[in-house]
Amino acid sequence: MKKRNLFVLSLFMAAAGICAAQTGQPAAIEDFKPSSKNQPGQEYPKVNSQGYARFRIVAPEAKSVVVSLGLGGTRGGTPLTKTDDGSWMGTTAGPLEEGFHYYRITVDGATFNDPGTMTFYGSTRLESGIEIPAHDQDFYALKNVPHGRVQQVLFPSPSTNTSRRAFVYTPPDYDKNQKKRYPVLYLQHGWGEDETAWINQGHANLIMDNLIAEGKIKPFIIVMTYGMTNDVRMGGLRNFDVKPFQTVLLDELIPYIDANFRTLADQPHRAMAGLSMGGMETKSITLARPDVFSHYGLLSGGTYAPAEIKDKSKVKLIFMSCGSFENPDGVKKAAADLKEAGINAVSYVSEGTRHEFQTWRRSLYQMAPLMFLDKK
């Protein structure tokens, strides 16, 4: 058995080396470790110090097994090679970008999740997930600091004739001082995702805990709910009507939060931000109702123009961000134009990332300290 395993490993390493040579990438260093997103006790998938990912799928009767990375498996595939024990193994052709990545397994044309990893809601379904350790991962690491609470709430929604779900992050000191009230950020996910995304994929709670522990931000509440985005398929987003969600958010969720949590229930202490399509929702709703929100955040979600801001006195902050492989020049110019018009605007570009959660983790980390800076 030992000889057989050594043979399989040697064969696999040789195949990985050939693949790397063909793509011009450096050969993979054999220091692979299980991904932090694996199921308990599962060895695969693995990642190495360079950012390569290695997969193993047990499918002895299969004819073909391919790993497809990215939301909806749209970023190419890594064909796996069948080994003597009936499993299929393969290593990505090159290093992956730092941070979280969705992926899926295609076995003989049928799509599956990898049983070795936990699943995350993306592309309107549960997807496998893998984490490539980032050089700056300390800001969202689980540390020995006081932790806030993330709780699920169900709020009545007459407009949709049901009860809807939201997740609410309250800071570590929320239960200690019953007289203290907090500002609120309403934070939206992107297309294909849901209200679990910012906690499970984005680690928003850990980012907040660490910032609060370091004294870098004023503690505030975060509310995350489903943006009703997924009835529109990719390619038809121009047909999306934000008004039903706007009704849920403004007329149902915000009154529920203000009635059930100790909030500062006024416009100066209320923010809205979103990633990707959640940014599109944020822009539409904040422009339509500037009387409700004072802080706006578009994370890979477009930009504002000065002409769109009808009353500058109502806007305390506009934060816009993206990955360096997205539209950095457009985001920077938009912030500069807003500043020239007398609006407090900040741009941030996440270096080396695309339309992905590492961009949005970093964006939240940069945005949070800029919010709710008044003394109340």
Could you read off the pLDDT of 326-374 as tens digits, one per residue? 999 999 999 999 999 999 999 999 999 999 999 999 999 999 999 999 8
Q: What is the largest CA-CA distance in the chain?
A: 74
In a domain, 55, yes or no: yes
Structural domain boundaries enclosing 215: 138-370
My answer on whether 85 and 177 are in the same domain is no
| Positions of the chain with pLDDT under 70 | 1-23, 71-76, 233-237, 375-376
What's the pLDDT score for residue 11? 33
| CB 154, CB 164: distance < 8 Å | yes
pTM, two decimals, is: 0.91
In a domain, 376, yes or no: no
Quick one: which of 23, 11, 37, 20 has its CA closest to 357? 37
What's the pLDDT score for residue 375? 66
Domain termination site, one of 133, 163, 193: 133
What's the pLDDT score for residue 229? 85
In a domain, 160, yes or no: yes
My answer on whether 352 and 301 are in the same domain is yes
What's the pLDDT score for residue 15? 38
What's the pLDDT score for residue 227? 95
Half-sphere exposure of 302 (CA within 13 A, CB side): 14
My answer on whether 265 and 186 are in the same domain is yes
Pair of tokens at residue 292 = 């409700």
Domain termination site, one of 87, 111, 133: 133
Half-sphere exposure of 176 (CA within 13 A, CB side): 7
